[in-house]
Chains A and B, each alone.
Chain A
Amino acid sequence: MKPNQTDVVGEYLHEVDRRLSGLPLLQRRELLADLAAHIETERTERNVRSEGELLEILERLGSPDVVAAAAYEEAGPPPAVNQQPYAAAAPPFGAAAPPPYAATPPFSAPARGNAKRLGWIIAAVAAVAVLLLLCFGLALARGDSSEPAPSVTRPPVPERHS
């Protein structure tokens, strides 16, 4: 096996792996092992010598995008919705970085990320509102003290006629 041929295979597997970051670790490793075994088997059984033939094997496997898209499709629906025990066990792995491309089905990790971000935004807005209220109140209080007593002076209570 020439070193440049290994490079082609290694690069292909790396490109697939790069797209699987949103998958549970075990599924990710399983797929890479399956693909690596497939390439090795094809190479041996078809007695592949040239790089052109090797590229044909990779072409038949499909582009990293296509393979990764299938992996996400078969990974199952987001764990939050799914009631299956396996999917329920997935979140610790699934919480990894969101898949880097758009062709993926909606995933729990990015969704949780969005919810988190939304939470932060709401908290920030609330903090600013509280601060503004405080400033406003302070200004009012100062205004009260500097000005002569406003209209709180009540009209004299009408005397009761006896």
Chain B
Amino acid sequence: MASGLRRGTLEFCVLAMVELEDRYGTEIVRRLAEEQSLAATEGTIYPLLSRLRRGGMLDSKWAESPSGPPRRYYSLTPAGRSALAHFRTEWVSFRQTVDRLVGTGEIA
């Protein structure tokens, strides 16, 4: 699949991961890298987290961990929350259109 489409949607997977609770970097990175079809190597997700933070979608703060080194926790900002909500509506209609045109829908 086009890498642009992959990377363009990956950031919303990141936002969705911290929607309900704050998570630390390694946790987010591990989870997304597990998904084969996302084809995201762990190390490439940190620059993405950095961009989302710089763009005001995420907030981050370092915190001590009960065991091991300090963790950097990410949380969703109000801007990130509305971007995610907007993506959800757009994605559904985008997916339906592509399915209809490419013939990949359930009723092809």
Contacts and interface: CB of A to CB of B under 8 A. Distances in A.
Answer yes or no: do A and B interact.
Answer: yes
Interface of A: 16, 27, 30-31, 34-35, 37-38, 40-42, 44-45, 60-62, 66-67, 69-71, 73-76, 86
Contacts of A37: 25-26, 69-72
Contacts, number: 75
Interface of B: 7, 24-26, 29, 33, 41-44, 46-51, 54, 65, 67-72
Contacts of B72: 34, 37
A9 B69 CA distance: 15
B44 A66 contact: yes
Given A34-B25, A61-B41, A66-B43, A74 B68 contact: no
- 3 smallest CB-CB distances across A and B, nearest first, come from A44-B68, A62-B41, A70-B44
B50 A27 contact: yes
Nearest to A42: B26
Of B29, B54, B70, B71, which is in contact with the most chain A CB atoms at under 10 Å from its CB?
B54
B106 to A, nearest CB: 35
A135 B33 CA distance: 70
A98 to B, nearest CB: 18
B54 A31 contact: no
Contact of A60 (B24, B41, B71): B41
Of B24, B47, B49, which is in contact with the most chain A CB atoms at under 10 Å from its CB?
B47
28 contacts: A27-B50, A30-B50, A31-B50, A35-B46, A37-B69, A37-B70, A38-B25, A38-B26, A40-B69, A41-B25, A41-B26, A41-B65, A41-B68, A41-B71, A42-B26, A45-B26, A45-B67, A60-B41, A61-B42, A62-B42, A62-B43, A66-B41, A66-B44, A67-B47, A74-B47, A74-B50, A76-B51, A86-B54
Contacts of B50: 27, 30-31, 34, 74
Given A60-B42, A70-B47, 5 more contacts: A34-B49, A35-B43, A38-B25, A44-B69, A62-B41
A70 B7 CA distance: 10
